[in-house]
Amino acid sequence: MSHKVAEVIIDIPHGDVDRVFDYSIPQELQEKIQPGSRVKVPFGHGLRNGFVWKVKEKTNIQKLKAISNLVNESLLNPTQLKLVDWLVKNYFCFYITALQAVIPPEIAREEVPKESRVYPLPGEGPINWGRAGKQKKIWEHLNSLSYPPLKADLERELSTSSSTINTLEKKGLIKVKKEIMKIDPLSPRPKKGKNFESEREYSIEEKFISPGKFLLRFGPGENLWPFYCSLIKKTLEKKKGIILLVPEASQADFIGKMLVNLFPGETILLHSELSSKERYDQWWRSKNNRPVVLVGTRSAIFSPVQDLGLIIIHNEENEAFRQQENPRYITSEVAEKRIEIEGGSLLLSSSSPSVNAFYLKKNKNYSYLESPFLIENEKPIELVDMREEFEKGNISIFSESVKTVLKDLKKGTSKTIFFYVNRRGYAPFILCRSCGYVARCEKCNRTMTLHKTSNALQCHYCKTQQEPLETCPKCQSKFIRSLGIGTEKVAEEIKKYFPRLKYMIVDSDRIKTQDQLEKVSREIKEQKWDVIIGTRLLFKEFFPRFDFGVMVMADTNLNLPFYDSQEEFFHLVISNASRVREGKLFIQTYYPEQKTLQFASKNDWDKFMENEWEFRKKYSYPPAKQLLSFSLSGKLEKEVAQGAKKLAKEISSLACKGELDMMGPVSVSFFQEKGKFRWQVFCRAGKREMLGSVVNQTNGLVRELIRKGIVVNLELNPKGML
């Protein structure tokens, strides 16, 4: 009888082995091995992990090695295999890299601690214990339990030894098994879910009767969770599964704990900050149970949820939904592909949907919906012209309108205010007023930030620290000045002019853990603080809202030299507005007539998007066209630069054929980062397939550069490009 052949992807992330290898399937494994199985195969001088990609009847290879053993019979389902193939073709990565994105390491390699559990075995007739009293005690205890205890727990609880337990096993009365340790992060689960009835009627629910793709815009700060819960309940009633994605792990934890009280048997939590034991437990629950509602962050889009009926991506515009390592996927694109494969509905929701979402609404088959409560959740926004403040003699970082609010707080009005500052520390950079020298990190070439609290200059990228400058290292002048505004600077001004107000700084220098953030949140609700000064940590969804808000120096975010800076600023304003409860958001700016500021102050998403879309079309930026970046980095600047130039030359020969533009090579603005020099080459095309052909034709050169020690990363439609 002829043996079947398996095409196997080897678990080695290297270009030279980025293909399938044929192996014969031993007779005893013929019926067990299938696409998606994890196997051990001989490769090189040893055994390697591999994944079965395909099973076929024959091969052209004459002498085949056989699969050594089957590790897991059905690790990947057909949907996951199709997603792996799609990731490779759309984000230009290795097959094994795509597989590693789809399967957590705890599952792929079973990198989870094992524990010994003790199982009682049925005895044959009465047992003569004789003088073995300790053994009898263990036996009786085991048979009184409804679960197999840990061996270590048994030894501790019964004050017995490992040798006594081993003797019982030798007698055939018990079995000690080493099993993977699993922990349910949502334990203890309630036995019965609470009855759920939405306080509000959402007329848009009727749109979800038939499967489809939807974009939902809701109001800043609007509580959309009753609507989500109603959709989840109706989907579960149809025996269909749900994947609900949120930007951050802390938010997933919060939502998971809420949903498990409504759907105790169906709720699953999956994200990278769970322990390996917890991830292992939850992944297998999602694979083996149906229907389920899985709450997680971006990687949970690959979870093996079966009979999928609905995917929800909450706050789809959030940057957390873009993977920053290979494969550099965009979660909404993966979700769309998954719905295409399996059916069901996809809901992208946001109070400020992205330009990509606008493109989907405009050019693809997406139904655009608005919350019926969108208008009532809009917050008043006041643009404060700081030029007028200066003309009136106000040189403070606070406008007169903001000072009035602070004076009212000083009178004990029990109201609260937050100040959003985009930089932690005291000042974003240090300048010599004599020669223009700017203090930069020696490793990264980024400006050093002054931190008065720790009395140090810090690089926020690579964490390098040095003592503050007393004299200029270039001209020895003593005229050193700190410029810009950080959280510490705002706190200093509050303390100086409003000493009776109680303030708290909320940034990553002071808030290191989720518990600390929750503690501050409770204190704000208890009105312990009048003023909160913070960075983006203020925008956590569970964080309390305030009576007033202030964007201290809005122009620093508005004028960044990136093609997508206007979109990012619009999202930032809406995020700030979502933190305001009943009062007003003040935006302090030197350029109030700027278009994006005008649109944002009126929460006019439609007009902003039309304006931004025209800009993207005019200059061929994503999503109007597809953009691919080749990012090269290495320790030797000359070699990196030469490599970038060689790559650019090869791409330019393809660009001559039309339908393709090339930009570069260029050294990036922070060309030296963490001791490495960086150069980039960009190419642009109307269709992604054209970029795929560029990747294929430059593959040889890229491998040559990698062998020389140059790291080459590819990213599709990168954010924040100059």
CB 3 within 8 A of CB 24: yes
Specify the pLDDT at position 329: 95
Number of alpha carbons in the 13 Å side-chain half-sphere of residue 101? 32
Q: How far is the C-alpha of 691 from the C-alpha of 693, rounded, in Å? A: 5
325: Cα separation from own chain's centroid? 11
Specify the pLDDT at position 674: 60
> Maximum distance among all alpha carbons in the chain?
100
Beta bridge partners of 587: 383, 551
pLDDT in tens, 476-516: 999 988 888 999 999 999 999 999 999 999 998 888 888 88
Please give the backbone phi and psi of residue 477, each rounded to the nearest 5 degrees, phi first: -70, 150
Q: Are residues 567 and 708 in the same domain?
A: no
Specify the pLDDT at position 722: 59
CATH classification of the domain holding 160:
1.10.10.10
Q: Are residues 367 and 247 in the same domain?
A: yes
Residue for token digits 């029990």?
Answer: 414
Name the token pair of 352.
């400020």
Is pLDDT at 199 greater than 80 in this prediction?
no
Is 478 a member of any domain? Answer: no
Q: How far is the C-alpha of 369 from the C-alpha of 202, rounded, in Å? A: 11
Amino acid letter at 317? Answer: E
Q: Are residues 335 and 212 in the same domain?
A: yes
Q: How far is the C-alpha of 697 from the C-alpha of 442, rounded, in Å? A: 37
Q: Are residues 87 and 121 in the same domain?
A: no
Is pLDDT at 411 greater than 90 in this prediction?
no
- Beta-strand ranges (E) seen in 83-164 are 114-120
Specify the pLDDT at position 719: 83
Q: Are residues 173 and 124 in the same domain?
A: yes
pTM of this structure: 0.88
510 class by beta-carbon count within 10 Å (0-12 exposed, 13-18 middle, 19+ buried): middle
Is 248 a member of any domain? Answer: yes
- Beta-strand ranges (E) seen in 190-285 are 213-217, 241-245, 267-270
Instruction: Quickly state the pLDDT bin for 376 (edges 50, 70, 90).
Output: low
How many separate domains does the chain show?
5
Q: Are residues 66 and 119 in the same domain?
A: no
Is 619 a member of any domain? Answer: no
CATH classification of the domain holding 308:
3.40.50.300
Instruction: Quickly state the pLDDT bin for 200 (edges 50, 70, 90).
Output: low
Is 649 a member of any domain? Answer: yes
DSSP annotation of 416 reads: -
Integer-rounded Cα radius of gyration of the chain: 30
Q: How far is the C-alpha of 92 from the C-alpha of 86, rounded, in Å? A: 10
Q: Are residues 95 and 118 in the same domain?
A: no
More confident residue, 302 or 544: 302
Q: Are residues 514 and 660 in the same domain?
A: no
CATH classification of the domain holding 642:
3.30.70.600
Contacts of 616 (CB under 8 A, 6+ apart): 355, 563, 622, 623, 624
Distances (CA, A) of 315 to 222, 584, 690: 12, 23, 31
SS3 321: helix
Is 190 a member of any domain? Answer: no
Residue 308's closest CA among 37, 83, 32? Answer: 83
Mean pLDDT (the chain) is: 89
pLDDT-wise least confident of 22-26, 230-234, 419-423, 464-468: 464-468
Residue for token digits 């009855």?
Answer: 195
Q: Are residues 576 and 663 in the same domain?
A: no
Report, as an integer, the average pLDDT of 605-632.
Answer: 94
Q: How far is the C-alpha of 244 from the C-alpha of 170, rounded, in Å? A: 49
Among 60, 86, 108, give the residue marking a domain's end. 108
Q: Are residues 644 and 556 in the same domain?
A: no
Q: Which residue segment(s) compose the domain that 543 sits in? A: 400-428+484-606
pLDDT in tens, 563-618: 899 999 999 999 999 999 888 999 999 999 999 999 999 999 999 999 999 999 99
Is 192 a member of any domain? Answer: no
Name the token pair of 501.
């107000």
CATH classification of the domain holding 70:
3.40.1440.60
595 Rama sector, left if φ>0, alpha if ψ -120 to 50, beta otherwise: alpha
Choose from 11-15, 188-192, 335-339, 516-520 the range with maximum mean pLDDT: 335-339
Name the token pair of 154.
């048994």
**What angle is formed at CA 567 by the lines to CA 566 and CA 569, rounded to 5 degrees?**
65
Contacts of 655 (CB under 8 A, 6+ apart): 661, 662, 683
Q: How far is the C-alpha of 10 from the C-alpha of 544, rounded, in Å? A: 49
Residue 466's closest CA among 451, 483, 478, 476? Answer: 451
Among 108, 123, 143, give the residue marking a domain's end. 108
Is pLDDT at 196 greater than 80 in this prediction?
no
Q: Are residues 420 and 520 in the same domain?
A: yes
CB 291 within 8 A of CB 307: yes
Is 369 a member of any domain? Answer: yes
Specify the pLDDT at position 573: 94
Element of type H or E holding 358: helix 355-363
Is 613 a member of any domain? Answer: no
Q: Are residues 409 and 363 in the same domain?
A: no
The angle that helices 249-260 and 225-237 make with each other, rounded to 10 degrees, is: 60
Is pLDDT at 357 greater than 90 in this prediction?
yes
Q: How far is the C-alpha of 80 from the C-alpha of 62, rounded, in Å? A: 31
Specify the pLDDT at position 421: 94
